Structure 1
Amino acid sequence: MSVERVFYYFNEISKISRVSFEEKKIADYLVEQGERMGLEVIRDKENNVIIKKAGNRIDSPVVVLQAHTDMVWQSENLEETLEKIPCNIHVKNGRMCTNGTTLGADDGIGVALMLTLLENNKKEYPALEAIFTANEEETMGGALAIRKENVTGEYMINLDSEKEGVFTIGAAGGISSFCKLPVQIKDSIKDKTVKIMVTGCIGGHSGLEINRKHENAIKILVRFLRTLSKDSFELKSLEGGSRSNAIPEWATAVVNTDAIEILEKQIIDFMKNCQSEWCNEEKNLSISIKQTEYSCVVYEDQFKERLLLLLENLPHGVYSRTEDFVCSSVNLAIVREIEKYITIELTLRSSYESWYRDEVKKITRLIEHFGGDSEHKDEYPAWMYKKDSELIKIFLDTYYELYGEEAECENVHAGVECGIIMRNCPSVKDAISIGPTILNAHTIFETLDIESVNKVYALIDKVLQNINEKSNQI
């Protein structure tokens, strides 16, 4: 079976809209492919799909392959990309990319690799259980719904890592905090309405890139508004961020003012004073202003002050780390006004359940102090690595055998479904996560390195044969 089949499947998958909570069509496709191959197919109400392929002997070991079917959708022109499918996929300088949308290699390439391995009829393979999970990017609800009676494998190979030659052997757990603050309004006494826009931030994955100098657009906007005198503007609205697992790339505030020219100069001064902070990373960050339709109603003055004070004091960024990896962090992800409430979503990640449980209590106390309330959900467990992992040893030995160099192992600061599946499916005792090189996932600049796909496919192919051979020798 040629690696070209991986790219065939990826291209077919990329024709299907598969954003989180909308995985029915991709589940239909996977069921169709599994049945075409003559394999056992299980589908649940969450649109998870499990495809099982028997080994060539009764006592064949069972290996679980796992990837998620949903993708993060971002587009620089939403009006032209209503279908939510990658736009004009092409290869440039050895990397697959798009024109102005997310590529969906996270984790479409994992899905494509699994379909290719299922299609491969090598007699040297062990029995396979391919788990295609839904809704990983939002709540991990798909993995949480996997039932233990449908999974019998001992080894699990997750295909959701993003750097070839680096094996993920552990991952953080996490939880989301949803806060609500009731809006208070008054009649405006200012003459004009303008929109202030923070745009061009890099954003990126709220776990994997939280330790980089990627600015939070919401925090930048609030910081700018705090440079203005309280009486110089009234606040009509404030919003920012698009996804719970992405660092906010944009934020806007609609304000009323009597002096647009002064406000424009203050923006220029703010950008000049702060430019040195983000010039190396955030080269495209900008703050702009435009006049908009007049609003006669704005936030009450004391509410405006409470909201800005809350947003500048809510946590964001890395809170603890070791020499090698981030341990705990918070992402101030989304701010919206919905049905007369300001809603705020934060995502918390940690290798330690005790930390994020205490941190959400701290957030609750802060929100209640400002007259709001909060709830916490979408919790998922950390995946603690095994020092004596037989599966990791097989991968390390096989990688060296194939490529003559040592692979790296890392503990990542991101949610990986391994922890959930291992907790819910007791048969799974050992896990690893690998994948080809994906850059700028969750952004319109996402790219997939072609050669790394070839190497990952060859590695899994050989590992499966080595697992089967090792079992034969026992």
Structure 2
Amino acid sequence: MNSAIKGLKPERVWSYFQEISKIPRESGNEEGMRQYLLAFAKQHSLKAVTDTVGNVIIRKPASKGFENRPSVALQGHMDMVCVKTKESKHNFLTDPIDLVLSGDYLHAKDTTLGGDNGIAIAIALDILSDDTAEHGPLEGIFTVSEETGLTGAFGIQKEHINSRLMLNLDSEEEGVLYIGCAGGIEVDVQFSVKQETIPAGYLAFSLSSSGMLGGHSGGEIHKQRANAIKILARALVAIPTKMLISAEGGTKRNVIPSSCSFSFAVPEADKSKVEAIVEETAKALSIEYAISDPDITLELTPIVTPAKAANAKQSEDFVRSLYIAPHGVDAMSLTIPGIVETSSNLAIIRFANDSFTVISSHRSSVLSARDDIAHRLGEAFCSCGAKVTYEGAYPSWTPNPASKLTAFCAKAYEEYTNTKPVITAIHAGLECGIINSLVPGMDSVSFGPNMYDVHSVKEKISVSSVERIYGFTRHLLSMIK
């Protein structure tokens, strides 16, 4: 057993989590996990089915005496966000996640942990394999590619699902029952540029931003963390004449970008002006983000001047569009105090084959507001002549405070912990809204253990919280009628 999990309770949950952590499972590469789940079902003589998009559904009969209880689904996703430090040589296609225990927290060495959503699968597998657990008919619904467009949830086929009560184990705050979530949409931008010869007397530089916390674009967007792409756009827009050479920033559409770099050429006479702009921007950022993101670094480095770059007008127009494009919280909910209603994440930028690519994601519990903020970003780039497309729209999950399942969960939580849970909605996108819309009559609640900084290399999960949530889940299953 990996020394990081030795002695952790519940032992079987962490053993399953360790096995899952050995399997490469970046979004779109879930075949290893799928085969692992099917082998698990066979080992424990459980029925399993794989649907047309690759989701796995595992069924377990009711415990003795619970045959007349309603069927309940435990739901989570197979894939994980794969992010690593610049120094890491980890290969997400082949290498296991290197687990590290620090006090009460489990994290990974130089990569994301995959607690989102590996811990849901580990808890579900423990219950599915435990003949002493008390429950009615049980299903495990394990979906694919949640992190890159909720592909598995969209592909759910109602004929494969027996349950009409679903416990989604993909939340990250103990003591909170989520009964609603935001809908989302992605904006893809393509901006083709004309490469021109860089004039004589120009110097080239690389400008990079790093040291930011990043994080989940739903769960952490309200924390006012810096966006590495927006920071560089802020500096570049102040430079009067520049020709863009390259750009690379961000990793995933649902991750706040924590690093970015641009290279560009400027007239030699502007060298000191460029240096001053970068220095002034860095000073301003250190003040503005002193609390929310204190380790921001801007680095300006001279590079060999190449032969060609994007022409100056297109470079200026594109940087201006990047600068004015929305990012962050756009509106707070007036229905549920303290919850973000609408937000944007300017997530990825790349330059290849004479074209800039920008990808952003937008969330809102109000679908008209979701579409409005997405189109505002789209119009920012249309103004420079870019091609803009809108993709991957998914619905919000409208809260139903009168839900019977919510009432069961609240009662069970209070019985198990002697504290009342918080019942609210979450700004992040959960699969519940989609599955509810595809399986008529489905009633869902989402909860989970304390996790922090998911979708970043700082991701960690509380060991003691996992033990409590695991115990609560078993207690809840025993009392649902």
Mark yes or no: TM-score above 0.5.
Answer: yes
Which sits farther off after the overlay, 179-188 or 65-74? 179-188
SS in 1 for 2:223: coil
Pick one of 435, 453, 467 that aligns with 2:466. 453
Shift of 1:260: 5.1
- Which structure 2 residues correspond to residues 301-340 of structure 1 after superposition, within 5 A? 301-322=312-333, 323-340=337-354
Q: Residue 132 of structure 1 aligns to which amino acid in structure 2? A: F
Distance 1:183 1:97 in 2: 42
- Retained in 2: the 8 A contact 1:86–1:101? no
In structure 2, the partner of 1:103 is 113
Question: Is 1:413 paired with 2:427?
Answer: yes
Which sits farther off after the overlay, 25-34 or 358-367? 358-367
Pick one of 6, 15, 22 that aligns with 2:13. 6
Question: Is 1:440 paired with 2:453?
Answer: yes
- Retained in 2: the 8 A contact 1:86–1:98? no
SS in 2 for 1:201: coil
Unaligned runs of 5+ in 1: none
Question: Is 1:224 paired with 2:238?
Answer: no
- Retained in 1: the 8 A contact 2:68–2:136? no
- With over 3 angstroms needed to count, the CA separation of the structure-2 counterparts of 1:76 and 1:431, relative to structure 1, is same
Unaligned runs of 5+ in 2: 1-8
Shift of 1:46: 2.5
In structure 1, the partner of 2:89 is 80
- Which structure 2 residues correspond to residues 18-37 of structure 1 after superposition, within 5 A? 18-37=25-44
Distance 1:369 1:262 in 2: 27
CA RMSD, 1 decimal: 1.8
Shift of 1:86: 5.5
Q: Residue 404 of structure 1 aligns to which amino acid in structure 2? A: N
In structure 1, the partner of 2:291 is 280
- With over 3 angstroms needed to count, the CA separation of the structure-2 counterparts of 1:191 and 1:302, relative to structure 1, is closer
In structure 1, the partner of 2:50 is 43
In structure 2, the partner of 1:69 is 78
- Which structure 2 residues correspond to residues 119-158 of structure 1 after superposition, within 5 A? 119-122=129-132, 124-158=134-168
In structure 2, the partner of 1:251 is 260
TM-score by length of 1: 0.94
Q: Residue 88 of structure 1 aligns to which amino acid in structure 2? A: D
Residues 127-154 of structure 1, C-alpha deviations (whole Å, 9 max, x = no match): 0111000100111001110100001212
- Retained in 1: the 8 A contact 2:49–2:58? yes
Q: In the comparison of the two structures, how many residue pairs are matched? A: 464
Q: Percent identity of the aligned residues?
A: 31
Distance 2:50 2:125 in 1: 16
Pick one of 265, 270, 278 that aligns with 1:267. 278
SS in 2 for 1:268: helix
Which sits farther off after the overlay, 247-256 or 315-324? 315-324
Shift of 1:30: 0.6
Question: Is 1:393 paired with 2:402?
Answer: no
Q: Residue 246 of structure 1 aligns to which amino acid in structure 2? A: V
Distance 2:374 2:102 in 1: 44
SS in 2 for 1:409: strand
Which sits farther off after the overlay, 353-362 or 21-30? 353-362
- Retained in 2: the 8 A contact 1:146–1:424? yes
Shift of 1:58: 5.1
- With over 3 angstroms needed to count, the CA separation of the structure-2 counterparts of 1:361 and 1:123, relative to structure 1, is closer
Distance 2:281 2:326 in 1: 23
In structure 2, the partner of 1:289 is 300
Q: Residue 132 of structure 2 aligns to which amino acid in structure 1? A: K
SS in 2 for 1:345: strand
Distance 1:112 1:11 in 2: 9
- With over 3 angstroms needed to count, the CA separation of the structure-2 counterparts of 1:179 and 1:291, relative to structure 1, is same
